[in-house]
A and B are shown apart, each in its own frame.
Chain A
């Protein structure tokens, strides 16, 4: 019998296999070809294939758009059956500023419940199902959370997560994980590996404890390693991944600043 976990993993694997890298590679080749021809044919009246290359690029752009849309639909499906979305979109050119459709009423409880758990909200701070949704765009949400995480106000951090549209929040890793990788590399002065992860853990452990005290510490360390491509991403609640990212980014920015 196929369990829902197996199903989720199979969908995630198939989504990760979508040829976004290959299509991007093809796009780069066609761009190069067009550049060479454009330069060589400036004075020529012969098209010599240029219009067809432009047409090919248009089709390729559309294919890439459709592949990204398919990956997002598959993530939506995984979330709708209660599983974490795929983790491979950090490498995908997701249109980060595109406003997402608000979640339908009554579909936020899974998000709010987990936010309260990992931030250890007391009775006064617990989510209200009819609370206002402030954040419906990804980039401003990311910037807000990183800014708060750079300070120390964990109640404000929780309130902003509670006021986040889940459909937007689950896309946070698309922004945060690549940033974590870049910042970690800058901080270390070399590519993160299993051998130098201790330095990253030392810089991020306290902020994670402070903002997300309900998260398992070991799980956070594995997630940090996964973000740096040092470990396989484990099965994780999407809220955990969404909330961890901005804290990690803020902690690594701070650590890099001290290093500078």
Chain B
């Protein structure tokens, strides 16, 4: 079956359609990008943890305002990366579910 979906390209005057196969391929291509992004996020999270440990060791006990601010910013960055990763996992799951219905 070659069900075709109405698909707008560019302005509203040009209307074309996209096949199920094309749509599935597009979703797969997008999810490959998401997967590559997840790998980069994972490595970034590991590097961030490494930097936090190193800084924690060499600046142990420092109550300097800039050090405390830096450590707080790094902790926040780590939390954002975790939430980012969770959102990409949810995106991949949604895309997979949709592709399965096509």
Contact = CB atoms under 8 A, between A and B. Distances in A.
Given A36-B29, A37-B26, A53-B91, A22 B66 contact: no
A42 interface: yes
A60 B47 contact: no
A53 B84 contact: no
Contact of B73 (A13, A30, A57, A69): A69
A48 interface: yes
Contacts of A11: 55, 58-59
Given A11-B59, A30-B34, A49-B98, A80 B66 contact: yes
Nearest to B18: A40
Contacts of B98: 46-49
Interface residues of B, number: 57
Contacts, number: 179
Contacts of A70: 69-71, 73-74, 77
B91 A77 contact: no
A100 interface: no
B77 A67 contact: yes
Contacts of A43: 5-8
Contact of B94 (A52, A66, A73): A52
A236 B87 CA distance: 43
Interface string B27-47: 101110110111011011101
B97 to A, nearest CB: 8
Contacts of A2: 58
A36 B44 CA distance: 24
Given A42-B7, A48-B27, A59-B87, A23 B73 contact: no
Interface residues of A, number: 53
A59 B80 contact: yes
A49 B99 CA distance: 11
A19 B48 CA distance: 6
A62 B92 CA distance: 21
B80 A62 contact: yes
A14 B55 contact: yes
Interface in B72-100: 73-74, 76-78, 80-81, 83-85, 87-88, 90-95, 98-99
A39 B47 CA distance: 34
A29 B29 CA distance: 11
A35 B99 CA distance: 17
B43 A22 contact: yes
B51 A17 contact: yes
Interface string A66-85: 11011101101100100000
A58 B55 CA distance: 27
B38 to A, nearest CB: 8
Given A15-B51, A29-B34, 20 more contacts: A14-B54, A19-B43, A19-B45, A22-B40, A29-B37, A32-B33, A36-B30, A40-B23, A42-B9, A47-B98, A48-B95, A52-B94, A57-B84, A60-B81, A64-B77, A66-B80, A67-B74, A69-B70, A70-B70, A77-B67
20 contacts: A2-B58, A18-B48, A19-B43, A25-B40, A30-B88, A36-B26, A43-B8, A44-B5, A48-B94, A49-B90, A53-B88, A56-B88, A59-B84, A59-B87, A60-B80, A63-B78, A66-B74, A67-B77, A73-B66, A74-B70
